[in-house]
Amino acid sequence: MKGKIIGIIGPMFSGKTTTLMREYDKTKLVGIPIIFKPKIDDRYGNDEIVTHDKEKRQAINCSTSNRIFKYLCDNKLVTDIFIDEVQFFDDDIIEIIDWFRLEGKNVYFSGLNQDYLGKPFYFKNSNKNIGELLCMCDDTKHLSARCSICGEPASKTHLKNQEFNNDDEFNKSPVLLGNNDTYEARCYKHHNKD
Ligand SMILES: [Zn+2]
């Protein structure tokens, strides 16, 4: 049996978590799926993933990717894993996803492919970015949102009410959690423009 890796990527407000939930719901009919999320993401409840429309599913909150590995070692019957906001994990997540697929099981992840500067999203304290994971995918769904200025398809996350600043080299992928007070979706033309 051969496992697969499916990536769901796009900017904020593109429906990534909703898409992940739909895949989870389908899998639940035929397998034993489980959802993981990074602990950093506590914008909503701790033991669930929640869409911007407030739809919820139960999820295991993990502070490190190694906790996902340990959980899967203890729960061998799990057939499919779903990882929300994968970009907020440490880079061991890459190896764990690869290992789970080698076990003949399936991995679905959702995440930001770019930070608000439009750069590839780097894993926590790492030189590796989301691109490493995207190369391993058997299929990717690249979602788009709507540009808040022109209404055209938007591939970028725009940080509102803040000076555009990309000379902070230490902070490769600035992690600012937020909602629609902090961010909005923009097309390429309107990204980081007033
Ligand atoms: Zn636009």
Residue extents of the structural domains in the chain = 5-144
Q: What is the pTM of this model?
A: 0.90
Distance 153 CA to ligand 1 centre (A): 8
- For this structure, is 85 an active site residue? yes
Q: For residue 177, name the pLDDT band (cuts at 50, 70, 90).
A: low
What's the mean per-residue pLDDT of the chain? 90
Catalytic residue among 85, 103, 169, 184: 85
At 176 the pLDDT is 60
* Per-residue pLDDT reduced to its tens digit, 26-74: 999 999 999 999 987 555 557 899 887 889 999 999 989 999 999 999 9
Least confident of 36-45, 73-82, 104-113, 115-124: 36-45
* Per-residue pLDDT reduced to its tens digit, 139-155: 999 999 999 999 999 99
Distance 150 CA to ligand 1 centre (A): 4
Task: Please give the residue that has the higher pLDDT: either 179 or 190.
Answer: 190
Q: What percent of the chain has pLDDT over 90?
A: 75
Closest CA to 141 of 10, 3, 4: 10
Q: What percent of the chain has pLDDT over 70?
A: 87
What single-letter amino acid sits at 123?
F
Distance 186 CA to ligand 1 centre (A): 5
Average pLDDT in the 99-103 region? 96
| pLDDT at 170 exceeding the cut of 50 | no
User: Among the CATH numbers 3.30.565.10, 1.25.60.10, 3.40.50.300, 3.20.20.210, which is that of 5-144?
Assistant: 3.40.50.300
Cα 113 to Cα 28, 56, 71, 86, 133, distances in angstroms = 27, 23, 26, 10, 10
At 169 the pLDDT is 47
Please state, in angstroms and rounded to a whole number, the distance separating the CA atoms of residues 15 and 13.
Answer: 6
